[in-house]
C-alpha cells in the first residue's frame, strides 16, 4: 500500500514538473536571433516618408554591401549614392520599374567594375558578387528600420545604357541595379516564402 502511494505521488510530481516546464517554441527561438529576424522580415518597400536617411546609416549600408562574399576576393563592385532629387526623378521616369525612386530620399546604384573582375570584360562572376552585395545592403536597411527595393537594370542593355548616360559612368562600370532607400511611409508585412516542396535532401 505504501509503495502504491509513493508511486502515485511520484507520478503526480512528474506530471506537475512537465506542466511547469515551458514549451520550446522553435519559431520564436529562430526569430529571436537578430540576424535571422532581419532576414525573415526583409521586404520590398516602395513608399517612403519625407525623411532623409542619416549619413551614418548610408555609410553602414555601403559597409554591409562591401562585406559580401566575392570570387577570389576581387570585389568587382562600385556604388553610386544618389540624393539629388532631379537625378532621382530622371531615373524614375527613364527606367520601367523604378517609379518609386522619385519619392525616395536617396538611392544606391550597385555597379560592376569590369577592371576588377576575375576574368576581364567577359567575367561571369561579377553579377553574382554584385547580387551578394545588394542582398547585404537590403538586409542592412531592414535591420536599421529603413525600407528598400531592388529594381533591376542589368542585364537589360537599354537600361544599363540609360543609367550610364544619366550618371556619366565610365565604360568599364556597368550598372547592375538601382536600390531606392528611405524610411517606410506605411508599416508593411514580409511575405512568407518558405515552401517545403522546394527542399530536397541528398538527391532529387
CA-based max dimension of the chain: 94
Residues 6+ apart with CB under 8 A from 71: 118, 125, 128, 129
Tell me what pLDDT residue 56 has: 98
Q: Is residue 179 scored above 80 in pLDDT?
A: yes
Residues 6+ apart with CB under 8 A from 100: 46, 47, 48, 92, 149, 151, 180
Pair 81, 143: CB distance under 8 Å:
no
First to last CA, the chain: 60
d(CA 107, CA 181): 5
Per-residue pLDDT tens over the stretch 63-112: 999 999 999 999 999 999 999 999 999 999 999 999 999 999 999 999 99
Domains of the chain from N-terminus onward: 36-182 (3.40.109.10)
Per-residue pLDDT tens over the stretch 147-163: 999 999 999 999 999 99
Question: Strands (DSSP E) along 35-186, which ranges?
Answer: 77-82, 106-113, 147-148, 151-152, 173-182
Band (pLDDT 50/70/90 cuts) for residue 29 is low
Q: Is residue 197 scored above 80 in pLDDT?
A: yes
Per-residue pLDDT tens over the stretch 4-28: 443 433 433 443 433 443 433 434 5
Backbone angles phi, psi at 19, to 5 degrees: -70, -25
pTM given for the model: 0.84
d(CA 95, CA 115): 26
For the record, the C-alpha cell of 125 comes out as 562572376
Tell me what pLDDT residue 41 has: 97
Amino acid at each position: 500500500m505504501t509503495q502504491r502511494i509513493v508511486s502515485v505521488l511520484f507520478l503526480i510530481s512528474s506530471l506537475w514538473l512537465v506542466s511547469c516546464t515551458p514549451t520550446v517554441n522553435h519559431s520564436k527561438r529562430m526569430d529571436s536571433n537578430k540576424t535571422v529576424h532581419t532576414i525573415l522580415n526583409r521586404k520590398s518597400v516602395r513608399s517612403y516618408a519625407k525623411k532623409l536617411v542619416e549619413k551614418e546609416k548610408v555609410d553602414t549600408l555601403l559597409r554591409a554591401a562591401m562585406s559580401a562574399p566575392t570570387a577570389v576576393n576581387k570585389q568587382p563592385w562600385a556604388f553610386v549614392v544618389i540624393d539629388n532629387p532631379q537625378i532621382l526623378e530622371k531615373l524614375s521616369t527613364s527606367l520601367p520599374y523604378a517609379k518609386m525612386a522619385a519619392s525616395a530620399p536617396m538611392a544606391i546604384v550597385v555597379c560592376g567594375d569590369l577592371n576588377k573582375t576575375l576574368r576581364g570584360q567577359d567575367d561571369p562572376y561579377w553579377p553574382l558578387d554584385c547580387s551578394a552585395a545588394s542582398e547585404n545592403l537590403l538586409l542592412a536597411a531592414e535591420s536599421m528600420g529603413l525600407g528598400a527595393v531592388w529594381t533591376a537594370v542589368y542585364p537589360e542593355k537599354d537600361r544599363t545604357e540609360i543609367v550610364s548616360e544619366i550618371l556619366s559612368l565610365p565604360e568599364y562600370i556597368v550598372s547592375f541595379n538601382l536600390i531606392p532607400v528611405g524610411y517606410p511611409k506605411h508599416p508593411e508585412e514580409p511575405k512568407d516564402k518558405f515552401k517545403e516542396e522546394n527542399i530536397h535532401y541528398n538527391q532529387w
